[in-house]
Amino acid sequence: MQRIGFIGLGIMGKPMAQNLLKAGYPLVVYNRSRSAMDELAVEGAVLAESPKTVAQQTDIVISCVSDSPDVEAVALGSNGIIEGAKPGLLYIDMSTIAPATARKVYTALKEKGVDALDAPVSGGDIGAQQGTLSIMVGGDEAAFQRSLPVLQIMGKNIIYIGEAGAGQVTKACNQIVVALTVQAVAEALTLAKKSRVDVARVRDALMGGFAQSRILEVHGKRILEGNFQPGFKLNLHRKDMNIVLQAGREVGVPLLGSAQVTTLMDALLAQGKGDLDNAALATLYELLAGIRSDDVTETE
């Protein structure tokens, strides 16, 4: 059985790594801070001191860290994967990062005989725990075929999109749809509230028609209940909107809706709400509409 390395044991990475262990893969793990590693050691993982030593001991290395500079550091930095990699290693990055960074990592590792895939995910912490993530993959198709048995442990809807960076372009598209739909739901439910009609019934009516969506269902409920405990934090979604806007600039697509919703997110971050769920966009609408003047906590 192939030996797998896993770097980044956060909200997403830890359950993904645990699923690989449960499936019987020998696993070598590295996390920047120690506590998450100790937990995995109890479950049978071998601990490594750096991404470099992970690469030295494994056939496939997976990472799930925060942002583009973090992936660059882990893959190409000092004590990074590139320093420990032997030709034939497969590197799968499952973080959400800029397509341009994914291409840079792909090219640098290719020169060392290492195949790299960008394979960001959708489905949240629940999808990571249940092994039901949607995974969108960019890179060489032969490398994708090689990665499939491992990706199938972590996800269900696994789609090869195209060359390096294509997986991250897909994730950027995903984040546009999520952001603008959250905004639409927040806007609609604020109109309902200020019009003094029953907001729950409005949501029920919309759920049965063409406006139906998972975001109307889940975030609509959060907005109704005033429960903004994350979920997917505004801070992380704002990070993704940076990636979206940068990707649009690179290819010359004005992303009007994305730019606007990013500004709304900035207003929420300025109010110190970055750790709330992204459904907290509704609180800004309510503030602007004069429905609320107060601050919001995680659960009202």
**Closest approach of Cβ 264 to ligand NAP, in Å?**
19
**Can you read off the two tokens belonging to residue 79?**
């004590």
Task: Extract the tokens encoding 52.
Answer: 């470099």
In the region spanning residues 14 to 43, those forming contacts with ligand NAP, defined by CB under 6 A, are 31-33, 36
Residue number, 160 or 232, with CB nearest to ligand NAP: 232
CB-CB neighbours of 10 under 10 Å: 18
193 is catalytic: no
Options 83-91, 121-129, 141-149, 201-209: segment touching ligand NAP (CB under 6 A)? 121-129
The residue count of the chain comes to 300
Among 17, 37, 61, 121, binds ligand NAP (CB under 6 A): 121
Q: Which of 5, 8, 139, 274 binds ligand NAP (CB under 6 A)?
A: 8
Q: What are residue 225's phi and psi, to 5 degrees?
A: -85, -10
* Minimum CB distance to ligand NAP, residue 21 (Å): 16
- Whether the CB-CB separation of 268 and 284 falls below 8 Å is answered with yes
Q: Single out the segment in contact with ligand NAP by CB under 6 A; choices: 116-124, 183-191, 205-213, 250-258.
A: 116-124
47 binds ligand NAP (CB under 6 A): no
H/E run at residue 268: helix 256-270
Please give the Cα distance from 261 to 266 (Å, whole number). 9
Which position has the token pair 């060392």?
Answer: 112
C-alpha to C-alpha distance for 198 and 173, rounded to whole angstroms = 33
Task: Verify binding: residue 96, ligand NAP, rule CB under 6 A.
Answer: yes
Tokens 């696993």 found at: 27
Residues acting as catalytic residues? 171
Q: State the residues that interact with ligand NAP by CB under 6 A.
A: 8-13, 31-33, 36, 64-66, 70, 73-74, 95-96, 121-122, 124-125, 232, 236
